[in-house]
Chains A and B, each alone.
Chain A
Amino acid sequence: MKLFTRYNRILVVISLSGLLLIGFLFYRMLVYYLDRQIDHDLVEEIMEVKEYSAKGNFYQPHEFEDLIVQYKKVEKVNSSSSYADTVFYNPLKHRKETARYLKTEFELVGQPYQVLVIASKFERQEQIRNICLIILIPVLLLFALVLLVNRILLKKIWVPFEQLLENITAFNINHERPYEPVEMPVAEFRQLNEVLVALSGKVKSDYNEIKLFTENASHEMMTPLAVINSKLDNMLQSNVLGKEDGETLVELYKATSRLTKLNQSLLLLVKIDNNLLQDEEQINLKSLIKEKQVYFQELISERNITVESTLADVSISASRSLLEILINNLFSNVIRHNYDGGKIEITLDADKIVFANTGHNKALDPEKIFDRFYKDNASEGTGLGLAILKQICNRQRYQLDYSYYQDLHTFTITFNHQ
């Protein structure tokens, strides 16, 4: 639920129940006071009756007074009087109306009489209704106005907040652009904004530190690797190596080479992250792919892999180093994970490059394959090839997708996705 909706809901519930309660009390008070007023009138009528009786007459009220005075002979005067509500037939209006009566007994022209004065409450009730309406309608209008103003005002107040949310979403740790602060007129939001600016700065600097650490660690490892490599090269020259030594050396070479590749890949990732490869130029992708295909030709024919390529003459503006690595990685991926006698399909059109290959594996998890160090155990790769691919696509703002269709592992790079 939105804050605004929640706030409004609470406001409406409380205001309406408050309004109901106050309305009820107000109504009761009004009825009470009007009853008192009617009772007062009834007493005055009784006075009138007494005055008339002193002159020896029975008082009868005017027609327009909505009053009825009834006299009833009684045995003896019981000096008590009572007020109450009742319903009576108004002979003037020919209808039943709610009313109030005063019943009392006293001597009238020397005889004991019970006198009943009934006064219609109709007029008074009309009054109450009108008073209530006069008060209620403006209150309701005011209430509606408050809700409306609230809605407009809150919306306006939340605008910078929404901008802030947008900026957080747009914030990317890999991009040079820092988190953009928003002009905040509201103190709480301003505080939030300040916290976010500080936080994004911290995140960025921590991230940079990690990158720097990776870079330094990888660089530091290169020198010992160089020592190992050079010692192996010298050992290889020895004339007294046996077959077993040879096998050991092969393993050592492989391990060293893998460690070197791993380090180089990590450094490459950092380099792409740091945007160090920015040699933007117009690149003919068709000729680049053809060139790389020749470059990999021996590896492809060695394993009897068939290449089917449909290449349109496409040029795009991009970093040459990044695209070369991209195409290199795509090629080595489709060759490495293929089987002997397998197939590679390469398609290039104005929107996308597609590399598809047959392989031993069934469909891979598209959520995971671009993660760093994700690889199947059989692979001799570093587990960074696809991560580098992904990183380059991020950097160039291409979309990279994996799918498995008709026994083909398919990697699609879309250039101008929206």
Chain B
Amino acid sequence: MPYLHIMKILIIEDEPGLQRSIAQYLLSEGNLCSMASTYIQALERLGVYEYDCILLDLTLPDGEGLQILNYLKRMNRNEGVIIISARNSIDQKIEGLSLGADDYLIKPFHLSELNARILAVVRRKSAHGERHIEFNEIRIDLDAKEVLVNGKVLYMTKKEFDLLLYFVSNKGKVISKSAAVEHIWGDDSDMADSFDFIYTHIKNIRKKLTDAGSRDYFQSVYGIGYKFTEV
């Protein structure tokens, strides 16, 4: 199995429903989650523990989330930080990233997207960061943006590569078509409601993998989406 180590994640989010959902998803991936609903709670947690990744909502009831970034910077902490915000503001994004945040995710988001981003951030942060992901006979080289099956390089388009990486990052989870569409199309596209063409993408990826001798790990789920999982 790739990235075997368990991640410790702090969720700083004042909306309890969202907090629980995120935790539920991340826990089922085998991670450890702490929760904080306020600025003070977050500081208390951070004073005691170290994390692999911090999810930070910028609008907290008792203080600006950006202050937490300041705190982490002051304390020379090395945690990866992903801002989760309802504000899609370029200024705030730039401010957050310049204060040391590693990524900026706009609400609403799919949990699979959040999970993929967390993995990417943690991978980047870890000192001896593995620049490739392995899943049985499949090896994804993140630097070269290449997919190898049994050591043989496959040709994949950028979108196919992104999609495969997305599914592998969320292996064992069902990913809805809309989540998959949004992942490769971003949110400035108006087309996310035309889900059907995602089928073609998955079909192409499947064909390329199996043609190269890989087993078929994709499963279709009730017409909602797909799952990449051990056979």
Contact with B along A228-258 (1 / 0, CB 8 A): 1111111011000101011101100110111
Structural contact, B191 and A236, CB atoms closer than 8 A: no
CB contacts (< 8 Å) of A200 on chain B: these are: none
When the two chains form their complex, are residues B15 and A257 in contact, meaning their CB atoms are under 8 A apart?
Answer: no
- Tell yes or no: B223 within 8 A of A by CB: yes
Decide if B173 touches A246 in the complex (CB within 8 Å).
Answer: no
8 Å CB contact of A261 from B192, B197, B222: B192
- A335 at the B interface (CB under 8 A): yes
By size class, the interface of chain A is: 35 or more
Which residue of B17, B22, B86 has the most chain A CB atoms within 10 A of its CB atom? Answer: B86
A336 interface hit (Cβ, 8 Å): yes
A385 CA / B193 CA spacing, docked (Å) = 13
Residues of B within 8 A of A258 (CB): 193
CB of B123 within 8 Å of the partner chain: no
A246 CB contact (under 8 Å) in B18, B87, B222: B222
Instruction: Judge if B217 is at the interface, Cβ distance under 8 Å.
Output: no
Cα of A265 to Cα of B86 in the assembled complex, Å: 14
Beta-carbon contact of A247 and B191 below 8 Å: no
A328 to B222, CA, bound (A): 31
Known: A233-B176, A254-B193, A261-B192. A219 touches B22 (CB 8 A): no
Among candidates B17, B110, B201, residue contacting A233 with C-beta atoms closer than 8 Å: B110
Q: Please state if B107 and A222 are interface contacts (CB–CB under 8 Å).
A: yes
Q: What's the minimum C-beta distance from B178 to chain A, rounded to whole angstroms?
A: 5
Residues in chain A near residue B191, CB distance under 8 A? 296, 299, 332, 335-336
List chain B residues, Cβ under 8 A from A267: 88
Residues of B within 8 Å of A385, CB to CB, are 190
Q: Are A246 and B192 in contact (CB under 8 A)?
A: no
How many Å lie between the Cα of A324 and that of B188 in the bound state? 9
Given contacts A249-B224, A260-B108, contact A381 B190 (CB under 8 A): yes
Instruction: Name the CB-closest residue of B to A385.
Output: B190
Instruction: Tell me which residues across on chain B come within 8 A of A302, comparing CB atoms.
Output: 196-197, 200
Cβ-defined contact, A225 with B107, below 8 A: yes
Check: B225 CB closer than 8 A to any chain A CB. Answer: yes
Given A222-B86, A261-B193, verify A298-B25 contact (CB < 8 Å).
no
A227 touches B194 (CB 8 A): no
A227 to B173, CA, bound (A): 19
Query: C-beta contact mask, B77-96 vs A, less than 8 Å → 1, else 0?
Result: 00000001011111000000
- B179 shortest CB reach to chain A, Å: 7
Check if A329 is an interface residue, CB within 8 A of chain B: yes
- Does A332 lie within 8 Å of B189, measured CB to CB? yes
Name the A residues within 8 Å of B194 (CB-CB).
Answer: 299, 336, 380
Chain B hits for A250, CB < 8 A:
222-224
Give the size category of B's interface with A.
35 or more
A249 to B177, CA, bound (A): 11
Q: Is A276 in contact with chain B by the CB < 8 A criterion? A: yes
Task: Provide the residues of chain B in CB contact with A237, threshold 8 Å.
Answer: 25, 28, 173-174
Give chain A nearest CB distance to B199 CB in angstroms: 9
Provide the residues of chain A in CB contact with B89, threshold 8 Å.
276
Shortest Cβ distance from residue B56 to the other chain A in the assembled complex, whole angstroms: 14
CB distance from A246 to the nearest CB of B (A): 3
Let me know if B178 and A257 touch, CB within 8 A.
Answer: yes
* Nearest CB of chain B from residue A220's CB, rounded to whole Å: 8
The smallest C-beta distance from A104 to any residue of chain B, in angstroms, reads 115
Query: Measured between alpha carbons, how far is A264 from B193 in the docked complex, in Å?
Result: 14
Q: Does A196 contact B (CB under 8 A)?
A: no
Q: Does B187 contact A (CB under 8 A)?
A: yes
A residues near B210, Cβ cutoff 8 Å: none
Do the beta carbons of B190 and A329 come within 8 Å of each other? Answer: yes
A222-B86, A222-B107 known, 4 other contacts, Cβ within 8 Å:
A234-B21, A237-B28, A264-B187, A298-B197
The interface of chain B, by Cβ under 8 A from chain A, is 15, 17-18, 21-22, 24-25, 28, 84, 86-90, 106-112, 159, 173-174, 176-179, 182, 187-194, 196-197, 200-201, 221-225
- 6 pairs, CB–CB < 8 Å, chain A vs chain B: A219-B87, A229-B109, A229-B110, A230-B108, A254-B193, A264-B88
The 10 A-B residue pairs with the shortest CB-CB distance, nearest first, are A246-B222, A230-B21, A226-B108, A222-B86, A226-B107, A227-B17, A233-B111, A225-B108, A302-B197, A229-B108
